[in-house]
Structure 1
Amino acid sequence: MDGRRISASPRPCSVRRVVAKKRPRGGGVDGFVNSVRKLQRREICSKRDRSFSMSDAQERFRNISLQEEYDTHDPKGHCPTILPFLRKRSKIIEIVAAHDIVFALAQSGICAAFSRETNQRICFLNVSPDEVIRSLFYNKNNDSLITVSVYASDNFSSLKCRTTRIEYIKRGKPDAGFALFESESLKWPGFVEFDDVNGKVLTYSAQDSVYKVFDLKNYTMLYSISDKNVQEIKISPGIMLLIFTKNTSHVPLKILSIEDGTVLKSFNHLIHRNKKVDFIEQFNEKLLVKQENENLQILDVRNSELTEVSKTDFMTPSAFIFLYENQLFLTFRNRTVAVWNFRGELVTSFEDHLLWHPDCNTNNIYITSDQDLIISYCKADSDDPLSEGNGKTSKSSSDAFGLYSIEIF
């Protein structure tokens, strides 16, 4: 994914923003059918219930097949001094692929690398017996894997980052990497955020209230932001939105260049007194602001044009995914998915797309690079032949996982 923020909180944050990467423009782009047309075609479809028919689904997914099944659990292969809970089975929470290697991170904090060529486990990425890996990030800029971990020796209180070249992992040498951001104190509520779209890393040291921006290519620090009044930072392609402590009647905001931290615009956004701000999000020139029991406001920061969406139509979601290529955004709330444009119009709601988890974590959502297909973990209809085996208990609920290949027509 393109925007990943890992917090030093003992428990993962329940609200995450994931940015769907913008596809490079070039020859042949006009030949693609964008997601808007596909959604429109779906909504005006003459077929029953305006949904994909069974024949459509079977045609699209008839070539899905299990290629290999891997298991991260290996009680005999673990170091004897490893933390006891790392030796127990637990759910897979992240899967990252890089070249012919698949990385699987279990909820317990154990992480393993598997070779797709030999279908064998290469190694475990936990290089210390007391290391609990919290998250993974594949850095395509220098072909390396970044692990974000906490340690028992530190009472699991601080995030530690390490980068390891993929070639070293292939050789079974996960300890050949080196530490990143050692000068930063990433204790709660500190965090590290990886932004693949802009090629940047944002860190926050709560100890001294300093945000720092690093280059994702070589990890050099570019600039820092030191202001105790900054409450949150949102990242969009090319820019950052700084949200300051709200006053009685407004929220001070600044838009900065992501490259050098230059202030591009400073302004105040008026808010209702004594009402909680549910969220403030930035999407290019559009600012989305929602207060408790109030309408959604969409502000164009270029000309101050304001659009409002009724609070009965737009309720505060638990997560967003922005589709930069198509100028749309997805909202997730109570297992449902909806697509909106920046005129405040509901493009579509997926009535046949019920997410499995009630507290949606966008780690379980994948958007293709063309932004014309969403793959998510959903509840299946028991009468649906494609859901065969949905009620069976299998290793997929623990720290084993299957690798599938799929061809979309």
Structure 2
Amino acid sequence: MDGGRRIAVSPRPCSGRRILASKKRGRPDAFVNSVKKLQRREICSKPHRAFSVTDAQERFRNIRLQEEYDTNDPKGHCSMVLPFLRKRSKIIEIVAAQDIVFALAQSGVCAAFSRETNRRICFLNVTADEVIRSLFYNKNNDSLITVSVYASDNFSSLKCRSTRIEYIRRGQPDAGFALFESESLKWPGFVEFDDVNGKVLTYSAQDSPGIMLLIFTKVGGHVPLKILSIEDGTVLKSFSHLLHRNKKVDFIEQFNEKLLVKQENENLQILDVRNSELTEVSKNEFMTPSAFIFLYENQLFLTFRNRTVAVWNFRGELVTSFEDHLLWHPDCNTNNIYITSDQDLIISYCKADSDDPLSEGNDNDITCEVLYRVPGMAGSINISNILTGKCLAKIRASNGFPVEKQCSCCDVECGCRSKVQSSSSRIRSTVAEALEDITALFYDEERNEIYTGNRYGLVHVWSN
């Protein structure tokens, strides 16, 4: 399903956009695994918000570390909380809505922070045994949808809840209401949020699915496929696609009328399902990516492989390669990547320049009493133009120092050291530390702020 965000049931969250119910025993067919292993994020666009290269460079000029939030509470978000919810864990997802930043930790704890007060408002976990798996901001009614599993039913089924942002702002996360209560969201059920069409798809284990592309078990040298209407589930087309019998399927994906099929050590096939026109891209030019992102407005797609990003069109042509955008993680995690709504900019956590003197870690004191840091390498946050591949701006350890505030004596030209000492009092991390081990990234286009989370459960705000 194009634009999907599917979520699976498990005590520990994953970073995928589609949320699946977990299977307790046995394993799904290996073919299905190979098809589903690619992580997708489809992006829709908004008109009249494009920026020129100059505008983008100006927008990201002088971005600095401004605030630091901590998602961890050793006492837990409520009494009798599950032990693993008290543990500090990495941030896996960040969502911003108006003046609130939501940070989801791998443990399943989700915290809400106010950008107005820079304080934690509340935890979104309503009960002691709730493990939140993923977040979705519904702009249509200004609410946050949380997808959770619970210890009370052995983490076996998905539960969705919608909470108005105004209630969360008041510190009332329990004022929300349950969604899809009639659905049996156990294995192989799932919930999928369709960003593009503004719809939510649920697959109940007791009902028939209604996704756009159905991929059936491989039969001999072909795989049966069906394309369904996203509106009512009507079968629009049934067909089979020929495969090499003894070759593993790397992925099968659909983007509008285009079907992308890739088998191990074989050419990429791009099939137009309307007229059966087939385009092949040499396996030497297009190698299997670890993930890709569809760009709806531009009719392009991004591929991620071995830390590199490339842009392709559906004629099988390479459109863009990036000059300075070497991703930090070898296996792409799309939670560390943000595409602007106009699909003109990509913001990613990248490897820092080798000549940056602060990119090699440091021996500073531990920044928080409960953190026992091992000095590491600081990366950089790179902002690049998708169509040209040019790097427009970069936040790195040598240029992201916190903005200094006025000293207490109010004399602008006094040179008083208190000016530096009083700045960013809530920030315990150095800039280099804030750029280490980033595990989630989000760009708030309205506020022009970048939010990053790291493996220590800390959230950092970057703004100018």
TM-score bin (small chain): 0.7 to 0.9
1:310 to 2:282 alignment = yes
Looking at structure 1, the residues matched to 232 and 305 of structure 2 have their Cα atoms a distance apart, in angstroms, of 36
Whichever residue aligns with residue 161 of structure 1, its letter is C
Q: Which residue of 2 aligns with 1:341?
A: 313
Aligned equivalent of 1:18, options 23, 41, 44: 41
Q: Is the 8 A contact 1:365 1:377 kept in 2?
A: yes
SS at match of 2:7: strand
Q: Is the 8 A contact 2:76 2:85 kept in 1?
A: no
Cα offset, 1:268, TM superposition: 2.0
Q: Which residue of 1 aligns with 2:100?
A: 101
1:62-141 matches, cutoff 5 A:
62-76=61-75, 78-141=77-140
Q: Which residue of 2 aligns with 1:299?
A: 271
Aligned equivalent of 1:365, options 334, 337, 340: 337
**Greater fraction of residues in strand:** 1
Cα offset, 1:249, TM superposition: 2.6
Q: Which residue of 2 aligns with 1:215?
A: none
Looking at structure 2, the residues matched to 60 and 148 of structure 1 have their Cα atoms a distance apart, in angstroms, of 34
Q: Is the 8 A contact 1:8 1:189 kept in 2?
A: no
Q: Which residue of 2 aligns with 1:154?
A: 153
Looking at structure 1, the residues matched to 102 and 397 of structure 2 have their Cα atoms a distance apart, in angstroms, of 28
Q: Is the 8 A contact 2:43 2:195 kept in 1?
A: no
Cα offset, 1:7, TM superposition: 1.3
1:124-203 matches, cutoff 5 A:
124-203=123-202
Q: Which residue of 1 aligns with 2:8?
A: 7
Indicate the RMSD between aligned Cα atoms, in angstroms.
Answer: 2.7
Whichever residue aligns with residue 229 of structure 2, its letter is S
SS at match of 2:5: strand
Looking at structure 1, the residues matched to 174 and 51 of structure 2 have their Cα atoms a distance apart, in angstroms, of 43
SS at match of 2:261: strand
Deviation readout 1:336-369 (Å, 9 max, x if unpaired): 2111111111112225322112221212211011
1:279 to 2:251 alignment = yes
1:35-46 matches, cutoff 5 A:
none
Whichever residue aligns with residue 139 of structure 2, its letter is K
Whichever residue aligns with residue 15 of structure 1, its letter is L
Deviation readout 1:206-241 (Å, 9 max, x if unpaired): 4x3632xxxxxxxxxxxxx4xxxxxxx5xxxxxx22
Whichever residue aligns with residue 291 of structure 2, its letter is A
Q: Is the 8 A contact 1:161 1:181 kept in 2?
A: yes
User: Which consecutive residues of structure 2, in runs of 5 or more, have no partner in the other structure?
Assistant: 17-36, 358-394, 399-430, 437-452
Cα offset, 1:60, TM superposition: 6.2
Whichever residue aligns with residue 303 of structure 1, its letter is N
Q: Is the 8 A contact 1:248 1:274 kept in 2?
A: no
Q: Which residue of 2 aligns with 1:377?
A: 349
Looking at structure 2, the residues matched to 246 and 283 of structure 1 have their Cα atoms a distance apart, in angstroms, of 21
Q: Which residue of 1 aligns with 2:208?
A: 210
SS at match of 1:105: strand
Q: Which residue of 1 aligns with 2:462?
A: 404
Normalising by the residue count of structure 1, what TM-score does the alignment of the two structures yield? 0.79
Deviation readout 1:258-286 (Å, 9 max, x if unpaired): 12222222222222223222111111121
Q: Is the 8 A contact 1:9 1:188 kept in 2?
A: no
SS at match of 1:85: helix
Looking at structure 2, the residues matched to 143 and 286 of structure 1 have their Cα atoms a distance apart, in angstroms, of 33
Q: Which residue of 1 aligns with 2:391?
A: none
Cα offset, 1:405, TM superposition: 2.4
Whichever residue aligns with residue 22 of structure 1, its letter is S
SS at match of 1:3: coil
Looking at structure 2, the residues matched to 244 and 99 of structure 1 have their Cα atoms a distance apart, in angstroms, of 42
Q: Which residue of 1 aligns with 2:408?
A: none
Cα offset, 1:59, TM superposition: 5.9
| Cα 1:396/1:300, change in 2 over 3 Å | closer
Q: Which residue of 2 aligns with 1:44?
A: none
Q: Which moved more, 1:336-345 or 1:9-18?
A: 9-18
| Cα 1:294/1:100, change in 2 over 3 Å | same
Q: Which residue of 2 aligns with 1:387?
A: 396
Q: Which residue of 2 aligns with 1:230?
A: none
In percent, how many aligned pairs have the same letter? Answer: 81
Looking at structure 2, the residues matched to 122 and 32 of structure 1 have their Cα atoms a distance apart, in angstroms, of 34
User: Which consecutive residues of structure 1, in runs of 5 or more, have no partner in the other structure?
Assistant: 39-54, 212-224, 226-232, 234-239
Cα offset, 1:112, TM superposition: 1.0
Looking at structure 1, the residues matched to 159 and 149 of structure 2 have their Cα atoms a distance apart, in angstroms, of 6
Looking at structure 2, the residues matched to 310 and 125 of structure 1 have their Cα atoms a distance apart, in angstroms, of 48
| Cα 1:258/1:274, change in 2 over 3 Å | same
Cα offset, 1:245, TM superposition: 2.3
Cα offset, 1:374, TM superposition: 0.1
SS at match of 2:223: strand
Aligned equivalent of 2:228, options 238, 256, 260: 256
Normalising by the residue count of structure 2, what TM-score does the alignment of the two structures yield? 0.70
Paired residue total: 355
1:225-236 matches, cutoff 5 A:
225=210, 233=211
Looking at structure 2, the residues matched to 249 and 2 of structure 1 have their Cα atoms a distance apart, in angstroms, of 29
